[in-house]
A and B are shown apart, each in its own frame.
Chain A
Amino acid sequence: MAINVNIDIMMARRKISAGELSERIGITPANLSILKNNKARAIRFSTLEALCRELGCQPGDILSFEEE
């Protein structure tokens, strides 16, 4: 997929575990795992907003575009 989700990098920078993050943003650990592993087809603005809020970052820090 051309869009990469870099949550794990931000999580490592903020020193936050997957379980804690999923609890804070209100999604299941399984869904967070789908996001982390780039398996997601789409991301809701509400989820992106919660991620940015909890990780203290911009959407561009979480998502990146890569030529296939």
Chain B
Amino acid sequence: MIWDSKKSVILSIICTRAVIVFAVAVAAILPWLVSSGFFADSAFRIQDAVVAKLMPIYYVACAPVLAALFHVNALLTAIRAGRVFVGANVRYLRVISWCCFVAAAVFLVGARGSLALIFIAAAAAFAGLLLRVVKNVIQAGVELKDEHDYTI
């Protein structure tokens, strides 16, 4: 099979949708997993108290994360359709970037001294910052494309 950019975009869309399904499924069955002792018995041996502390953070963070994932899906769908340097993609990237910052804030507030959560918050904030740069690049691309399209 010859790998090309179209197949790469399709793979990204599949991965994004799989992550959406996984995040929603985990949110749906998380209380049951905790009550059944899944985490305590798993290879990670996470204590129930720790899981109980993380559960509300997961649910609060789920909103911006799912919003970001749906926008990533929309962005990839537009790229697949050949619409790359368009205003809608700039908006998608802006929303995704802000979702990362909101998720970072949720993890930072919920961290309460937990170094792992502070690291996750820092990673989310860094991702948000990088996405802002990508958004600025796409925005400049949109302006260049407009200039080109309207040069007769």
A15 at the interface (CB under 8 A from B): no
The number of chain A residues with a CB under 8 A from chain B is: 12
Encode A33-68 as 1/0 by CB contact (under 8 A) with B. Answer: 011000111111001000000000000000000000
B152 at the interface (CB under 8 A from A): yes
B146 at the interface (CB under 8 A from A): yes
B42 at the interface (CB under 8 A from A): no
Please measure, in the bound complex, the distance between the C-alpha atom of A50 and the C-alpha atom of B115, giving whole angstroms.
Answer: 69
Please measure, in the bound complex, the distance between the C-alpha atom of A41 and the C-alpha atom of B121, giving whole angstroms.
Answer: 44
Please measure, in the bound complex, the distance between the C-alpha atom of A34 and the C-alpha atom of B146, giving whole angstroms.
Answer: 12
Q: Give A24 Cβ to nearest chain B Cβ, in Å.
A: 15
The number of chain B residues with a CB under 8 A from chain A is: 5
Please measure, in the bound complex, the distance between the C-alpha atom of A41 and the C-alpha atom of B150, giving whole angstroms.
Answer: 5
B151 at the interface (CB under 8 A from A): yes
Q: Name the A residues within 8 Å of B41 (CB-CB).
A: none
B4 at the interface (CB under 8 A from A): no
Q: Name the B residues within 8 Å of A41 (CB-CB).
A: 146-147, 150-151
Q: Give A62 Cβ to nearest chain B Cβ, in Å.
A: 12
Encode B89-121 as 1/0 by CB contact (under 8 A) with A. Answer: 000000000000000000000000000000000
Please measure, in the bound complex, the distance between the C-alpha atom of A34 and the C-alpha atom of B151, giving whole angstroms.
Answer: 9
Contact (Cβ within 8 A) B150 A44: no
A31 at the interface (CB under 8 A from B): yes
> Mind listing 23 A-B residue pairs with CB under 8 Å?
A27-B152, A31-B152, A32-B152, A34-B150, A34-B152, A35-B152, A39-B150, A40-B150, A40-B151, A40-B152, A41-B146, A41-B147, A41-B150, A41-B151, A42-B147, A42-B150, A42-B151, A42-B152, A43-B151, A43-B152, A44-B151, A44-B152, A47-B152
> Which 5 residue pairs of A and B lie closest in terms of their CB atoms, listed nearest first?
A41-B150, A42-B151, A31-B152, A40-B152, A35-B152
